[in-house]
Every structure is written in structure tokens, then in C-alpha cells.
Amino acid sequence: MAQKILVVDDDKDIQRLLALRLGSAGYETAFASDGITAISAARQQAPDLIVLDLGLPAGDGFSVLERLQALPQLASIPVIVLTARESPETRARALEAGVERFVAKPFESEALLEAIAAALSA
């Protein structure tokens, strides 16, 4: 069975781009566009991995991370941050919050797929 990836990003174009890239790499995808639906989608979809944008409406990526960590059934899902907010601080903060990999936008699809594969096999 294909592994499922939940993409949390408020940009529809990027959602579609990821759907294409992840789909052709053999993953199943689900989407959420803000911080609140991210948590409910994670509960319902039970994804194998979450690709999380940091700049989100209704609670930014860090608060989504916090809530994921606080829920026992969701805390173990590996998270990859995919963000345009690239700075040494956010990178350090995200890794401290338990994120597996940090990928900056714009991304090379190979680099993202590599990070996803590494996080899933970890």
C-alpha cells in the first residue's frame, strides 16, 4: 500500500505541484490549508508523514507542531518543514521542535523526495 503524505500549505499552486511530484514518486497525498484543518486532517487521514509549511493562516506551523506533539496518536508522525521562511533561527527552532528535516522554498524536487524518503525510513 502506498504511503500517505499530508501536505499542509495554504498555497493551492504549491499543493498541486506537490500532488504532481509526490504522486509521480508513488505517494498518496492529502491536503490541508491552515493550522486548524491540519490537525483534524492528521487525525482522520493518519498519514505516514506530514509536509508542513510554517506560514499558515489560523495558527502558524510552530503551533501546529506543538499540537501534534501534544496528541499521543499524532506525536510519532514524522514532520518535514517546507517553508519560504528560511533563516538560521527558524531552522534551529524547527529542528528543536522535533522536525525530521527542514527544506527551504523554492525546493528542488529531488531534494524534497530525498528528505521524505529519509524521514520515512528513520
* Binding-site ranges for another protein (CB under 8 A): 11, 13-14, 17, 20-21, 55, 83-89, 105-107, 109
Among residues 33 and 83, whose Cβ is nearest to another protein?
83
Nearest distance, CB of residue 10 and another protein, angstroms: 9
Among residues 2 and 84, whose Cβ is nearest to another protein?
84
CA–CA distance from 66 to each of 19, 82, 109 (Å)? 26, 17, 27
The Cα 8–Cα 36 span in angstroms is 10
The Cα 38–Cα 113 span in angstroms is 21
Nearest distance, CB of residue 53 and another protein, angstroms: 9
- The pair phi, psi for residue 120, each rounded to 5°, is -70, -35
Among residues 55 and 57, whose Cβ is nearest to another protein?
55
Nearest distance, CB of residue 22 and another protein, angstroms: 12
Which segments of 1-122 are extended strands (E)? 4-8, 28-32, 49-52, 79-83, 101-104
Nearest distance, CB of residue 8 and another protein, angstroms: 14
Among residues 72 and 88, whose Cβ is nearest to another protein?
88
